[in-house]
A = this chain, B = another copy of it.
């Protein structure tokens, strides 16, 4: 699957919060052989959300995961933005309403929350874009949302990392598994020669193994650097075997150039 992530929240844009959610998701999406094409972060503004969403839909990925902005406050406007992008409206989803109500009742009865019953703000979380399916939130109150638009599946997850992770495990992982592809990554480190010196050899080896992606990452700048060579492949049959060959060939070149392989 081709996947896009859309992260919503002013706190990301002002640098108050380091967005770790997309890295968490990216690791797992990739592990199951799916390819993230783009990660976009926008603020809590209706037009921004709606534009970013419309653009993502127009690129026709298989899966869009939206993260953040599902809460009870008026500036949690992810679902409104998505509805606008889909040219539809929000409507009260009875299933979502009931589950939110139950969560608050239980929390009140257990003495965790002091306010009983549904309020406008609690109800807000039950207004989903027409045609949506609510997703249970095991760790919070705002339900997630699933929508199908053409061939694209859209999921909205909460932005609170604990809630996001729980819903990701329950809802997203099974889909990643079901349509599972194959991702491979292997890497090694060397020191003593620069990225530009190994570059022509990497190009040569890459031409020999066109299905693999070989990338050098200078880890401390080029000078006195440690360089990582990372070999990745999506959905290549004997990727591991090919990667091992690439690694052997490149290690030999590093040694020949008087560089040093870092033993892991």
- Determine, out of A81-89, A216-224, A235-243, the stretch whose residues face the partner at the interface: A216-224
**Is there contact, CB below 8 Å, between A121 and B196?**
yes
Q: Would A115 and B40 count as touching, CB distance under 8 A?
A: no
Chain B residue, CB-CB nearest to A199: B121
Bound-complex Cα distance A121 to B216 (A): 13
- Contact digits for A14-39, partner B, Cβ 8 Å, 1 yes 0 no: 11101110011111111000011111
| CA–CA, A134 and B72, complex, Å | 48
Partner of A220, one of B35, B162, B193: B162
Q: Tell me if A43 counts as interface (CB < 8 A to partner B).
A: yes
Contact A30 B48 (CB under 8 A): no
CA distance A149 to B219 in the complex (A): 32
* Residue in contact with A162 in the complex, picked from B75, B112, B192, B221, CB distance below 8 Å: B221
Q: Could you say which of A5-13, A90-98, A174-182, A244-252 contacts chain B?
A: A5-13
List of B residues within 8 angstroms of A27 by Cβ: 14-16
B residues near A139, Cβ cutoff 8 Å: 221
Asked if A232 lies at the interface with its beta carbon under 8 angstroms from chain B, I say yes
Binding site for B on A (CB under 8 A): 10-16, 18-20, 23-30, 35-44, 48, 52, 55, 71-75, 104, 107, 112-115, 119-122, 139-141, 160, 162-163, 183, 185, 192-197, 199-200, 202-203, 206, 213, 215-224, 230, 232, 257-259
CA distance A15 to B199 in the complex (A): 24
Q: A15-B27, A199-B72, A203-B74 are in contact. Are A140 and B40 (CB under 8 A)?
A: no
A105 to B141 alpha-carbon distance, docked (Å): 62
Considering the complex of A and B, which 4 residue pairs feature the smallest CB-CB distances, nearest first? A15-B26, A15-B27, A72-B196, A121-B199
* Alpha-carbon separation in the docked complex, A121 to B196 (Å): 6
Q: Which of A183, A195, A196, A257 has the most CB of B within 10 A?
A: A196
Contact between A16 and B185 (Cβ–Cβ < 8 Å)? yes
Q: A12-B39, A16-B185, A114-B258 are in contact. Are A122 and B221 (CB under 8 A)?
A: no
Cβ contacts A to B, 26 pairs, < 8 Å: A11-B217, A13-B38, A14-B27, A14-B36, A15-B26, A18-B18, A19-B19, A39-B40, A71-B196, A71-B216, A72-B199, A73-B199, A75-B215, A107-B194, A112-B223, A113-B193, A113-B194, A113-B223, A115-B196, A119-B200, A120-B200, A121-B199, A122-B196, A140-B222, A160-B218, A162-B220
